Amino acid sequence: MSKKFKLDSVDKQILHDLQENGRMTNVELAQNAGISAPPCLRRVRALEDARIIKGYHADIDPEALGYTVTIFAFVGLTSQAETDLQEFEALVSSWDMVRECNMLMGETDFLLKIVAHDWDDFQRFLTTKLTPAPNVSHVKTALSIRSRKNLPGVPIAL
């Protein structure tokens, strides 16, 4: 959030509903929040302007597009200078197969969530992009067997 934004119960209801169903109409949002449509739309715009709502997206089934493998990679860097961390993050941002990049505290510097069509596709990515990347000292990987919970956003208490 760029500026202080005090959330009331109406804002929280709007956020809860949009997080559950980003295609919900403004009229439905307003009804659930107990307000009329015009002020509801103003609140949504204010939440967007404050970057509390950062965007909207469709939840795509990876397997429907041929992505059958999900791997978590624990990446260690040789240098943790801020410029080196930023350079690594910029490089990772250019790799479409990397869906999440989290900087960690501890012995591992980054945790990456990577999707691939198959194991060979991931191995090519690992050996041609990730391990030879500048400043990468080591990579440990874990293959996801299945995912039973993958919720967007955060819990919103109503």
3-state SS of 24-70? CCHHHHHHHHCCCHHHHHHHHHHHHHCCCCCCCCCCCCHHHHCCCEE
Average pLDDT of the residues in 90-98: 98
Average pLDDT over residues 68-81: 97
pLDDT tens per residue across span 122-142? 999 999 999 999 999 999 999
pLDDT(87) > 60: yes
Q: What percent of the chain has pLDDT over 90?
A: 91
Measured over the CA atoms of residue 135, residue 138, residue 101 and residue 132, the dihedral's sign is positive
Confidence (pLDDT) at 90: 98
Topology of the domain comprising 62-143: Alpha-Beta Plaits (3.30.70)
Tell me the pLDDT band of 64, cut-offs 50, 70 and 90. very high
Class of domain 9-49: mainly alpha
Map out the domains of the chain as residue ranges.
9-49, 62-143
